[in-house]
């Protein structure tokens, strides 16, 4: 991600930090100034952590916002940026051990910091449980699955019992708490994939094949302020074949060894195969997609 595509705006007293923070909060601006102001009012008064707003030039009066919210940093992109681009920048800029991704049209209903931080070694990300405008919990758990037309994760409701934590493939809608160091060591999101859904799917499958986990439970709950239906846009966009190529390029032999297996043409991206699979992932993966699907439930 080129620094020239965004600028960091902040007050002078925020220019440096003497120690690494435990948590940073990244609010993705969805373009509604009133919702952003309401969100910032709540976080600045009720949540004592470093705050970042990720927005785009022209969406807001940044100077006015800086005067009103002097403790907030603004990451301002000069053009449209995908979800993955924005979150990769958050990871680069926030300097915290963990970063929480939310949106200006989402309320943070529950954040059990003790549970989330105490279980930090067991996950790369803790995916938020999601509720709609009516406070109804929606199916936010994602389970790996392969259909004839390609990768097609199934959805399920999260476990809401006290203390119960289950595995999910990735944070639905990108909402969740990320372990920054591990996120960056695993190379973040693939910016050559252009849709949010396929970026999240690619990331979730990739880290699962490497042996890492994303989990979810009621310790983190967010609610959409206005949306009744919360459905991912799974439209195939530029770069989506990079996701299927990286997911389906490995097979496990009877002796448990992982070998390369070129995917079928409808799932294949040549550049991803030559660069990502053959020269990067082949040395990092510990499982194949078929095993991931078959063993998912038993490896909670």
Task: Indicate whether 72 and 151 sit together in one domain.
Answer: yes
Asked whether residue 2 carries a pLDDT value surpassing 80, the answer given is no
Chain centroid, CA 149 distance in Å: 24
Task: Indicate whether 145 and 264 sit together in one domain.
Answer: no
Name the burial class of residue 237, with classes exposed (0-12), middle (13-18) and buried (19+) by CB atoms within 10 angstroms of its CB: middle
Which range is least confidently modeled, 14-23, 40-49, 83-92?
Answer: 14-23
Task: Indicate whether 248 and 183 sit together in one domain.
Answer: no
When comparing pLDDT for 29 and 2, which is higher?
29
pLDDT tier, 16 (very low <50, low <70, confident <90, very high otherwise)? low
Name the burial class of residue 19, with classes exposed (0-12), middle (13-18) and buried (19+) by CB atoms within 10 angstroms of its CB: exposed
Q: Which of 168, 198, 224 delimits the end of a domain? A: 224
pLDDT at 120: 74
Name the burial class of residue 92, with classes exposed (0-12), middle (13-18) and buried (19+) by CB atoms within 10 angstroms of its CB: middle
Please report whether residue 231 resides in a domain: no
- Bridge partners (DSSP) listed for residue 143: 154
Please report whether residue 46 resides in a domain: yes
Task: Indicate whether 102 and 128 sit together in one domain.
Answer: yes
Task: Indicate whether 196 and 261 sit together in one domain.
Answer: no
Give how many domains the chain has, as a whole number. 2
pLDDT at 297: 72
Please report whether residue 233 resides in a domain: no
pLDDT tier, 75 (very low <50, low <70, confident <90, very high otherwise)? very high
Give me the DSSP letters along 170-215.
Answer: S-GGG-EEEEHHHHHHTT---TTS-SHHHHHHHHHHHHHHTT--EE
- Bridge partners (DSSP) listed for residue 6: 77
Q: Which of 189, 224, 259 delimits the end of a domain? A: 224
Task: Indicate whether 211 and 258 sit together in one domain.
Answer: no
Strands (DSSP E) contained in 39-164 are 50-56, 72-77, 98-103, 106-111, 125-131, 141-143, 146-147, 150-151, 154-156
117 to each of 95, 152, 175, how far by Cα in Å?
17, 31, 17
pLDDT tier, 126 (very low <50, low <70, confident <90, very high otherwise)? very high
Task: Indicate whether 172 and 214 sit together in one domain.
Answer: yes
Q: What are phi and psi of 260, to 5 degrees?
A: -80, 140
Task: Indicate whether 110 and 146 sit together in one domain.
Answer: yes
Task: Indicate whether 79 and 161 sit together in one domain.
Answer: yes
Q: Residue for token digits 């705050």?
A: 51
Task: Indicate whether 173 and 249 sit together in one domain.
Answer: no
Q: Which of 224, 259, 290 delimits the end of a domain? A: 224
Q: Range of 152's domain?
A: 3-224
What is the pLDDT averaged over residues 80-90? 96
Nearest residue to 99 via CA among 45, 168, 40, 50: 50
Task: Indicate whether 259 and 213 sit together in one domain.
Answer: no
Task: Indicate whether 140 and 176 sit together in one domain.
Answer: yes
Helix (H, G, I), strand (E, B) or coil at 253: coil
Asked whether residue 116 carries a pLDDT value surpassing 70, the answer given is yes
The domain that contains 172 carries what CATH number?
A: 3.90.550.10
What is the pLDDT averaged over residues 42-58? 95
State percent of the chain over pLDDT 90. 84
């Amino acid at each position: 991600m080129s620094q020239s595509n965004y600028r960091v705006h902040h007050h002078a007293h925020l220019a440096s930090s003497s120690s690494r923070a435990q948590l940073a909060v990244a609010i993705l601006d969805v373009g509604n100034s009133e919702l952003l102001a309401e969100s910032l009012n709540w976080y600045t008064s009720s949540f004592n952590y470093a705050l970042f707003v990720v927005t785009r030039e022209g969406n807001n009066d940044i100077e006015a916002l800086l005067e009103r919210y002097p403790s907030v940093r603004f990451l301002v992109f000069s053009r449209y940026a995908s979800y993955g681009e924005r979150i990769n920048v958050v990871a680069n800029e926030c300097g915290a051990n963990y970063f929480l991704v939310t949106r200006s049209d989402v309320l943070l209903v529950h954040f059990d910091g003790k549970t989330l931080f105490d279980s930090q070694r067991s996950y790369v990300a803790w995916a938020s449980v999601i509720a709609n405008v009516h406070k109804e919990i929606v199916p936010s758990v994602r389970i790996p699955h392969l259909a004839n037309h390609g990768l097609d994760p199934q959805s399920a409701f999260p476990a809401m019992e006290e203390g119960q934590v289950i595995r999910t493939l990735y944070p639905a809608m990108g909402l969740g708490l990320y372990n920054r160091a591990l996120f960056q060591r695993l190379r973040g999101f693939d910016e050559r994939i252009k849709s949010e859904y396929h970026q999240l799917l690619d990331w979730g499958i990739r880290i699962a094949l490497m042996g890492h986990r994303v989990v979810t439970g009621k310790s983190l709950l967010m609610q959409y302020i206005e949306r009744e239906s919360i459905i991912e846009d799974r439209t195939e966009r530029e770069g989506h074949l990079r996701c299927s190529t990286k997911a389906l390029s490995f097979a496990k032999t009877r002796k448990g060894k992982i070998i390369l297996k070129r995917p079928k043409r409808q799932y294949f991206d040549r550049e991803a195969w030559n660069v990502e699979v053959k020269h990067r992932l082949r040395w990092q993966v510990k499982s194949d997609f078929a095993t991931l699907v078959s063993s998912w439930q038993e490896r909670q």
